[in-house]
Structure 1
């Protein structure tokens, strides 16, 4: 950056100072306050009730439509950090003001820039991107160095005597919103005046310095200024007063805290003091908060924090350690802190006023750090007079060691054997199925795979990834007495038809889980599905299944429902999956693609509370033969509209009113990614529904999609068909 002499800066200060009052008067208070809080929201150091739209956007990690995409232009990066709506509000407020500015006395700054860019330029523009963003990006390309020059001059002008006095927020303003708005408005005005003066006197072509471009540069520059400028002297007190006025109870938040040296804290400050945990083995009160002992030395712990308006009505169950202590807040607004700042929604979460508080700390999982399990903590805070430490639960081994007590003899939980899966390739989503009484080839055929068509697992995965497809496939392993089936991110083993076929000669059980914490535990024996459910608390299991579920607490989801489900699979079939089994499967690198079953057909059911559907009511008055005729007419129409009216397999299916074996296989294949005419085959399949009303409604639904642009004609013909068939 070329240094601008003080004399030139003084010449620029006059026009900029003159323009400031006009610009400030045109800036709306709300967006000005958003900008004015940038310095305190940059690091999350503000109260939850006062967090700006800018910070909430950053917390949610929302993609910016104004994202500049360069990384080497601070002004553009700063502009791109703002929400699109905020940019548009400022553009709308100031677009007509820029041409009114009298900056005739501004010096010529052309000599402080390099040569203008010649040739073509390219600016990436996203649909709906603000003119302010595209204008700033264009300027950055056609006149390199002009954006940094604006930012540098604005910084220097902020300290110039003629300008600095205009940037001060007077002590007569005491309201938080008004202080933030005044602080943001004056520095935005400085940036606008500076940008307008520089861009009009820097040799830039007129078409490139229309008001949106000037404001784009100015808003980005203002963000830089406001991130650096200290808040006005009265802001901290005003912020605290507003936080106290708006703080409501009860409230809660959850997230993750970074742990270091076996500890995190709930503190008004940020430095966690050294303490000994030999008193209760979990928590120690310190000035301004409390320090909590973790099992993991370095890592993260999951936190649920609740602030109540009184003590909890009862003591929670399911926790290994529960201890309650008193602590005193000097100001209020303690945060969950760790080795580095916790998530913004865990900062300044306790009441924003001083006094005595109680903190009840609940802990689970401190003994399981070697297996990589997550530790969970619930912190409950309420205002109450100081009282002695109260211990409600003290059962984990770590707590006993810290207190100098003999460790309790605790039986190993059965799901511990499967914790290795949390660090495996199946950690996020999979289905594991175990089948007895069948060989590998029979099991593959039960899943809809062809034993004669093995493929490389890597090749299958690369193919599906390139097509962004979730077509099913399996890998299998002969365990000697059972067959292990592994589906990576698949779920065929949880489907009733698959379990029915697989268990024909013995037993089959499967556990499905995915990244959304959806699970399904299934059991089948001798061709009958005995139980297939999302496992929660108490399962109503048949006698054959009940022993497999004994002592498995599916209500305690923190320990992993899917891990407990795998225990049940092992108990039911006599075999489970081990790390060595999975390693053998992956070393073999052989998988089999699945041709999935057609969707299950369900009878028609009216949704409770919904008004009767006139079209469906009309169908219920027709005799079953008429309904069957209508369903197959709709299926045939679907084929005709798709140009398949003379297809031999479809003709034979319509004539037989049942899918032929060839048609059934084609219908199944059509459901794969890229399958041919899926809606036609789905219409033919739905026409076979044993429930005649469902056969009609579901077949017409599929036929509409098969007809595509002629859907309206098909629906009209179907209604006419019903009208002609209705009893007179």
Structure 2
């Protein structure tokens, strides 16, 4: 060790000088990250949670059998590449004169053959470290073992100390990380060059791969420098900005979670206000659920909220004192990373307003909002106290609280329709009529599972529907579909009575629609103050779509049930899924709209000229563009297209083929759309929209088509 310590100590300053600050600081924070002593305001420049791809070498697993390689593989690939680029030319410069012969510390060299399997794009450092692990067993762990012992040698240990004059968080972390990386690089270079290896096996990338992995192991073990905690807190305080917000889920155990500076949620009584109890360093919140998670929204404001929120069953405001700052949302264990150390990172008096809803429910609808701001200590304020749990905890008689009408649809959240669907209820028609109105063939049933697997395989969103006759009405259910919300389907399906549908998707887009005797009465994204005709008004009574907490899709289904006299139940859905029968839909062609300006219109330059042409001239241009699209696409002799162009209208056969072309595996979609758009009742829109579809239909010939169109527009045939 004495012989090795001298050359390593002499080499370390050169390596330190070459390590860039940012990646050095990333390494230097490893122990703090492992201990949880970080703040959410710090973001990794290299994607902290990225993981390098694992490799398989010589039949070995590539994980768990080499701590150095596993440590190297745990780093973000960009960080490894940055260090490799910074130090690759430094390794050959290191003066390691005097390093003893270390071959006696290793076993016999590997003499057999081996195969190497590398993932494309993997770092040379990762590949080189794995190669060394194979051709000289014991060399890589020897580097880690000797570096760990060298760290205690007086000559080396003195170089690992961060000087007192370094105070900034990044500077302290960088000095710490660079010093330990320098120890690992110098040790790896010394050991590997004196371990009886061929020169090709100890090229700089391989040496640095072993060194970086070794540095990760050592930095996870080494304590952070004495001044790091103060520097980190100072940085957190300097970087913290208001307002601050976060959301996620809070872990719950024993009917409680907490906002605390420390960890471990204490046992408390909630008999005072029934919701929140102040404890040293924060507050504990009483939940309805005993164990699991609850959804939470947290906001830290510069001052008190401008008003008291509505739509919550319990609201209580309390004061609490922060000893240091940086309280986290915790439960039986630490919560989500983005809910850690979320309050201001400085001590003082704070107000906390806790909002709760759904504590009486068992369907997973329990929600909380925590609002924090700095303010002097003040008395507790109770703004709302309406749930039954709160009354029980306070020793008060439980209120007789009517359930909101949408409660009957809470089962939907945990069903197969929870994320996206359209539910349509139809009266005055049988199941076969409903299927035909949707564009499905009653004579072609398929397994719902088969349809789903086919669409998944093709990554398609082609529409399909399942139906159920419930006596007096037919339910049409679309999983992740929306045909029941379209005007053509609603018009047809309501011909013999009434129809209503509710659509929702994962992007929180919704649509509520009503139709009667072939007329769509209303189809809207439901928000507050819906202007509804008289025959719909009663169906919307007491449904506050502005209150998103109540569940817009559930309230929409209430309106559907009120309008049609029938709704969907969990049992109905179970019957549909047990039957496992669905029907593929051939969708309607897109609705044609009057002319309107569109960005990127290929003939935008000629709009004024077009507006001056007569309707016959515009019709000629539209059908010329449609015919050209078909001709260039190789469909010029297709009899259905020839007949449609001659009639200047889609024949029944052509109309069906045009609809089928819109499916995922349909052919010549844009050519058929061009023909469809040529039928637009608005002649100006017929020209512009047909040309727009035609240029996609002809693909590489689009420029010529647009040029020909420009010529025809500027020099049209006389009317």
Residue 581 (1) aligns with residue 581 (2): no
Establish whether residue 122 from structure 1 lines up as the match of residue 117 from structure 2.
Answer: yes
Q: Which residue of 2 aligns with 1:253?
A: 246
1:288-437 to 2 correspondence within 5 Å? 288-368=281-361, 370-373=362-365, 375-437=366-428
CA-CA distance at 1:609 after TM superposition: 13
Q: Contact between 2:301 and 2:371, CA under 8 Å: does it hold in 1? A: yes
Could you tell me how far apart the structure 2 residues matched to 1:291 and 1:150 are?
49
Q: Retained in 2: the 8 A contact 1:622–1:726?
A: no
Q: List aligned pairs for 1:452-491, cutoff 5 A.
A: 452-491=443-482
Q: Distance in 2 between matches of 1:349 and 1:527?
A: 55
Corresponding position of 1:22: 14
Gap change, CA 1:715 and 1:217, over 3 Å in 2: farther
CA distance in 1, matches of 2:504, 2:324: 46
1:645 is displaced (CA, Å) by 0.6
Instruction: Specify every segment of 5 or more residues in structure 2 that has no aligned partner in the other structure, as ranges.
Output: 57-61
Structure 1 357/501 Cα, relative in aligned 2: closer, same or farther at 3 Å?
same
For residues 12 and 645 of structure 1, the distance between their equivalents in structure 2, rounded to whole angstroms, comes to 83
CA apart distance, 1:67: 5.8
Q: Could you say which residue in structure 2 is the equivalent of 1:154?
A: 147
For 2:429 and 2:372, the matched residues in 1 are separated by 58
Q: What is residue 492 of structure 1 aligned with on the other side? A: 483
Equivalent residues of 1:66, 1:79 under 8 A apart:
no
Change (3 A) 1:632 1:224: farther
Structure 1: give runs of 5+ residues left out of the alignment.
Answer: 1-8
Displacement of 1:194: 2.3
Q: Cα deviations across residues 257-311 of structure 1 (Å, max 9, x unaligned)?
A: 1111111111110011110000000111111111111111111122222222222
Residue 496 of structure 2: aligned partner? 505
How far off is 1:496 after superposition?
Answer: 1.2
Partner of 1:371, secondary structure, is: coil
Q: For residues 182-213 of structure 1, give each alpha carbon's deviation from its aligned partner in whole angstroms, at most 9, with x where no partner exists.
A: 00110111222222233333454433433233
Deviation at 1:606, TM superposition (A): 2.4
Residues 263 and 297, structure 1, Cα contact 8 Å, conserved in 2: yes
Residue of structure 2 equivalent to 1:164: 157
CA–CA separation in structure 2 for the residues paired with 1:178 and 1:411: 61
Question: Which whole-Å deviations, capped at 9, do the CAs of 1:224-270 have from their partners, x for residues lacking one?
Answer: 22222210111111222222233232222222111111111111100
Q: Does 1:526 align with 2:511?
A: no
Whether the aligned pair in 2 keeps the contact of 1:45 and 1:347 (CA below 8 Å) is no
Q: CA deviation at 1:593?
A: 1.0
Alpha-carbon deviation of 1:580? 1.4
Other-structure match for 2:687: 696
8 Å contact from structure 2 (residues 29, 177) kept in 1:
yes
- Match of 1:50, SS state, is coil
Following TM superposition, the consecutive aligned residue runs of length 4 or more in structure 1 with deviations greater than 6 angstroms are: 608-612
- Are 2:556 and 1:565 aligned? yes
User: Equivalent residue for 1:34?
Assistant: 26
CA distance in 2, matches of 1:75, 1:686: 64
Identify the residue that residue 716 of structure 1 maps to in structure 2. 707
CA contact 2:5–2:153 (8 Å) conserved in 1? yes
Query: What is the rounded CA distance, in whole Å, between the counterparts of 2:283 and 2:220 in structure 1?
Result: 32
Cα distance, 1:116 vs structure 2: 5.7
Greater shift, 657-666 or 28-37, is seen at 28-37
More moved, 113-122 vs 386-395: 113-122
2:543 maps to which of 552, 555, 568: 552
- The separation in 1 between residues aligned to 2:702 and 2:413, in whole angstroms, is 48
1:629 partnered with 2:624: no
CA distance in 1, matches of 2:284, 2:600: 52
Structure 1 segment 123-138 matched on structure 2, within 5 A: 123-126=118-121, 129-138=122-131
TM-score, scaled relative to structure 1? 0.93
Normalization by structure 2: what TM-score? 0.94
Q: Is the 8 A contact 1:31 1:89 kept in 2?
A: yes
Distance in 2 (CA, whole Å) between partners of 1:162 and 1:117 is 40
SS at match of 1:179: helix
Say which SS state the counterpart of residue 48 (structure 1) adopts: coil
2:464–2:584 contact (8 Å) kept in structure 1? yes
Report if the CA contact (8 A) 1:117-1:143 is conserved.
no
Q: Tell me the residue number matched to 1:6.
A: none
* Residues 1:367 and 1:310: Cα distance change in structure 2 (over 3 Å): same
Structure 2 contact 52–75 (Cα < 8 Å) conserved: no
CA offset digits 1:637-678 (Å, max 9, x no partner): 111111111000010111111111101111111111111111
Query: Is the 1:44–1:347 Cα contact (8 Å) retained in structure 2?
Result: no
Distance in 2 separating the partners of 1:309 and 1:303: 20
1:346 offset after TM fit, Å? 1.4
Task: Give the total of aligned pairs.
Answer: 711
